[in-house]
Amino acid sequence: MATLTAAERTTGKLTDAFSTPVYNQDGKSVSPDSRTLQDVVVDFLEKDVGGDLKSLKNVGNLLKKLMEENSVLEDQVLSVSSSVPPKVSAALSAAEEARCSLENLQKRERLISNTLHQHLQGAQPWMDNLSQTLNHVDTIERHMKYLRCLQHIEELRYRRYGYRTLSVLVSLTFSDSDDLLSTRALTSGQGVPSTQSALSTTPPSQAPPLCLPIQIMLQPLSKRFRYHFYGNRQTNSLSKPEWYLTQVLMWMGNSATFMEEKIQPILDRAGTAISARVELCRGLLSLVQDKVAIDASRLLYDDVLFCHLVEEVLQFEKELRSNQSYPAVLPGLLHLLLEDTVLQKWLTVERKMAVEKMDAMLSAEGAWSSQYKDISDMDELKAPDCAETFMTLLQVITERYRGLPCPSAQLKFLGLQRELVDDFRIRLTQVMKEESRCPLGARYCAILNAVNYISTILGDWGDNVFFLQLQQAAVSLGEEAILGDLGVMEVGRLASLEGSLFEGLLALLDRLKGDMMGRLLEWTMREITEKTKPYCQDRWLSLPSQQDQSTMTLSSSACPMMLCVRDRLLNLNQVLSLSLFQLAWQGLAERLDNFLYQDVILCNHFSDGGAAQLQFDMTRNLFPLFGHYCKRPENFFKHVKEACIILCLNVGSAILLRDLLKDSEETRDVAGIQDPPPESALNELGVYCLAPCDVLILLKLRASLPQ
């Protein structure tokens, strides 16, 4: 157990003294709190000293002990009192900081409150204005709902009244010929108000007038159309012709079922050959025709809005013929675009837009790369983006003028397309000249692919039914802009569909393609011939003969040439279209065949071993390089193949052949007749290309034959 200090013991004793139960004279317990200090001391003395007088000698010790304990208690009190001020000071500091923070918060609160009050005062006018505006909107909405209700009631009333009286009206209209004539007189504008006489803009010579019942049905629609799409209405916008065009199409579509199910039976019972749906469409078209004619004349000096109007008219015509089943014999809107000033403006804008797009497509970053380059099945033509975009542009122009009802106008657009093709060809030629210093480069080959792609598409167009019809129209109309200065024979060929309207352009494109292909093969052969120089100077006369060809290897001097040919073929196959690559490798084989024949074979003498080595190099190494692209590549190296046959004949056969050829020459010189001809002997050996005189020259190059 821990040792207690004197103070603790004294404190404990005093505590025990206060806590010890005490009883009064009556024997009742007295509470420690009610006892006085004197009572405690008396109890303490009685307990520690008692009544024994001898124990008084311990009073001194007890006094000393109490003094010591008193001293200890004083020290403790002093130490406690000294430690209290720092804690109190810290508490006061914290309280001061809290007070300052509270004051700052109060200041911020007052500032924010003032700012908010000012903001509310400034926003109050806006809130008042907004409240007024909202009230105005609510009023307008209530008015709109009221007007819709009135409109709906009016439509219901009109339908009820109109359908009930329409049968009677049709019967009266078509009852007899006199009434019919009077009705036509009314519809032509005689005795009818002028919202009716303007319903039909088509002359009577082209289409019959609208019947009176249909005119009456069109009156509310005509009013609505003129209300919304004329004057200063926001819906009357030159930049939005699709608004009124779409509205008319909606009226046609929404009325189709009603006209077929309700009105058509009435017309059928009246014995008239009139289609109610078509008649309604004719009447609505007359509204649109007037509007388009007015807008077109106002947009002649705004290219963008004019183009938009033309596009919307073309789209309207397409939907009219397809979705509304409007007969093709009746005019729609396209004839409005054939008016001289409008048509000329259309052609001018088409040319301007096309030239701008050509400039943009040729200067684009990916102009000379193909978008299908990673898809081998779709990239046979390897057309660069600029060429494909250009032909798409021409196709879009074709789709725009395809539906025009006038062949003469269509031929004008065809002439524009031919001008654009020739312009694009000139641009390709200019770019090609810049790239002609590196014909083996990717861009040069891309230009060649572009020329070939355009030529291929134009060739297909020449067999297209639409362009064949235009070709017949050009011949029958004698269009000088299309036929130019063609002679009678050429015009006759066009009339018999033997030629094409694109023949002149195809000839120019083919000439450009031929020039570019020739330059490409020339550069390729220049590189190959440079690699072939050691092979041309090989020691063909001193090579020993080898009995077993299985042990033969490619001449070391031929390796650079073979590698160059292989690499160039692979590169051309990757960058050229399939048809162009066919021309390229065949042209390369022809040039290489002539070069090897002239510079290797005819410029050297051959021993039997040298001839065998030459044949091995050609048949086992060079020809197989081209075997990847055809089944019998030796047929494209006829001079080299047949020269190897002659050089590798055994000595006896070679001597007999030489004597036969010499005798045939002498016989021909004397009698002029050869029987049998020497070619038959050469054919038996497999020689068809070389002439007898060429064979004699080759035989003289053999060192093993006696001269």
What is the mean pLDDT of the segment spanning 420-437?
94
Per-residue pLDDT, 183: 34
What is the mean pLDDT of the segment spanning 227-248?
93
Looking at per-residue pLDDT, the higher value among 325 and 525 belongs to: 525
Per-residue pLDDT, 122: 87
Rounded CA-CA distance 481/129 in Å is 68
Look at residues 71, 73, 74, 44 and name the one whose alpha carbon lies nearest to residue 59.
Answer: 44
Look at residues 148, 146, 284, 278 and name the one whose alpha carbon lies nearest to residue 220.
Answer: 284
Looking at per-residue pLDDT, the higher value among 308 and 379 belongs to: 308
Residue 688 has pLDDT above 50, yes or no: yes
What is the mean pLDDT of the segment spanning 267-277?
87
Per-residue pLDDT, 193: 31
**Burial category of 234 from C-beta neighbours within 10 Å (exposed 0-12, middle 13-18, buried 19 and up):** exposed
C-alpha 183: how far from chain center: 57
Per-residue pLDDT, 202: 40
* Contact of 347 with 420, CB cutoff 8 Å: no
How much of the chain, in percent, has pLDDT values that exceed 70? 81
What is the mean pLDDT of the segment spanning 340-360?
94
Residue 20 has pLDDT above 80, yes or no: no
Distances (CA, A) of 578 to 443, 572, 622: 17, 10, 22
Reported as a pLDDT band with limits 50, 70 and 90, residue 477 is confident
Per-residue pLDDT, 295: 94
**Contacts by 290-295, CB closer than 8 A, 24 or more apart:** 290/198, 290/201, 291/225, 291/229, 291/230, 291/244, 292/241, 292/333, 292/336, 293/201, 293/336, 295/238, 295/241
First to last CA, the chain: 143
What is the mean pLDDT of the segment spanning 287-311?
94
Residue 21 has pLDDT above 80, yes or no: no
Give the pLDDT confidence of 307-323 residue by residue, as tens digits: 999 999 999 999 999 99
pTM: predicted TM-score of the whole model, two decimal places = 0.69
Q: Per residue in 235-249, is it b (16+ CB within 10 Å) or e — as a string?
A: ebeeebbbebbebbb
Residue 176 has pLDDT above 60, yes or no: no
Reported as a pLDDT band with limits 50, 70 and 90, residue 159 is low
Give the pLDDT confidence of 26-47 residue by residue, as tens digits: 555 555 555 677 777 777 777 7
What is the mean pLDDT of the segment spanning 332-341?
93
Least confident of 296-300, 512-516, 538-542: 538-542
* Contact of 416 with 398, CB cutoff 8 Å: no
Residue 377 has pLDDT above 90, yes or no: no
Rounded CA-CA distance 361/368 in Å is 10
Reported as a pLDDT band with limits 50, 70 and 90, residue 178 is very low
Rounded CA-CA distance 140/147 in Å is 10
Look at residues 324, 338, 473 and name the one whose alpha carbon lies nearest to residue 404.
Answer: 338
Reported as a pLDDT band with limits 50, 70 and 90, residue 705 is confident
Rounded CA-CA distance 141/35 in Å is 94
* Contact of 353 with 306, CB cutoff 8 Å: no
Rounded CA-CA distance 661/40 in Å is 167
Phi first, then psi, for residue 150 (nearest 5°) are -65, -40
Contacts of 622 (CB under 8 A, 6+ apart): 562, 565, 592, 637, 640
Residue 703 has pLDDT above 60, yes or no: yes
Per-residue pLDDT, 191: 34
Per-residue pLDDT, 179: 38
Per-residue pLDDT, 427: 95
Distances (CA, A) of 117 to 122, 127, 422: 9, 15, 76
88-92, 198-202, 423-427: which has the highest mean pLDDT? 423-427
- In the three-class reduction of DSSP (H, G, I as helix; E, B as strand; rest coil), residue 37 is classed as helix
Per-residue pLDDT, 209: 85
Cis peptide before 407 (omega within 30 of 0): no
Residue 457 has pLDDT above 90, yes or no: yes
C-alpha 155: how far from chain center: 47
Give the pLDDT confidence of 592-603 residue by residue, as tens digits: 999 999 999 999
**Three-state secondary structure readout of 510-525:** HHHHHHHHHHHHHHHH
**Burial category of 211 from C-beta neighbours within 10 Å (exposed 0-12, middle 13-18, buried 19 and up):** buried
Reported as a pLDDT band with limits 50, 70 and 90, residue 698 is very high
Per-residue pLDDT, 30: 52
Least confident of 332-341, 473-482, 531-540: 473-482
Residue 31, sorted as left (phi over 0), alpha (psi -120 to 50) or beta, turns out to be beta
Phi first, then psi, for residue 606 (nearest 5°) are -125, 135
What is the mean pLDDT of the segment spanning 370-395?
84
Look at residues 349, 359, 448, 435 and name the one whose alpha carbon lies nearest to residue 400.
Answer: 349
* Contact of 451 with 368, CB cutoff 8 Å: no
Mean confidence (pLDDT) of the chain: 83
Looking at per-residue pLDDT, the higher value among 550 and 111 belongs to: 111
Looking at per-residue pLDDT, the higher value among 60 and 70 belongs to: 70
Looking at per-residue pLDDT, the higher value among 324 and 6 belongs to: 324
Per-residue pLDDT, 204: 36
Reported as a pLDDT band with limits 50, 70 and 90, residue 294 is very high
Per-residue pLDDT, 187: 34
* Contact of 570 with 563, CB cutoff 8 Å: no
Rounded CA-CA distance 366/360 in Å is 11
Taking the alpha carbons of 443, 445, 446, 447 in that order, is the dihedral positive or negative? positive
Rounded CA-CA distance 225/466 in Å is 38
- In the three-class reduction of DSSP (H, G, I as helix; E, B as strand; rest coil), residue 22 is classed as strand
Task: Kindly report the CATH number that applies to the domain delimited by 538-701.
Answer: 1.20.58
Token pair of 574 as six digits: 């990757």
Cβ of 703: how many Cβ atoms within 10 Å?
15
Domain locations in the chain as residue ranges:
213-340, 349-512, 538-701
Q: In 3-state terms, the chain is what percent helix, strand and coil (to 5)?
A: 75, 0, 25
Per-residue pLDDT, 206: 58
Rounded CA-CA distance 370/387 in Å is 9
Rounded CA-CA distance 546/612 in Å is 8
Per-residue pLDDT, 2: 43
Do strands 22-23 and 29-30 pair parallel, antiparallel, or not at all (unpaired)? antiparallel
Per-residue pLDDT, 212: 85
Reported as a pLDDT band with limits 50, 70 and 90, residue 378 is low
Give the pLDDT confidence of 85-120 residue by residue, as tens digits: 667 788 888 888 898 998 999 998 999 989 998 998
Residues in the chain, overall count: 707
**Burial category of 450 from C-beta neighbours within 10 Å (exposed 0-12, middle 13-18, buried 19 and up):** buried
Per-residue pLDDT, 482: 74
Contacts of 656 (CB under 8 A, 6+ apart): none
Look at residues 352, 264, 256, 270 and name the one whose alpha carbon lies nearest to residue 303.
Answer: 352
- In the three-class reduction of DSSP (H, G, I as helix; E, B as strand; rest coil), residue 603 is classed as coil
Token pair of 199 as six digits: 């319903």
Cβ of 655: how many Cβ atoms within 10 Å?
14
Give the pLDDT confidence of 589-642 residue by residue, as tens digits: 999 999 999 999 999 999 989 999 999 999 999 999 999 999 999 999 999 999
Rounded CA-CA distance 450/388 in Å is 8
Residue 230 has pLDDT above 60, yes or no: yes
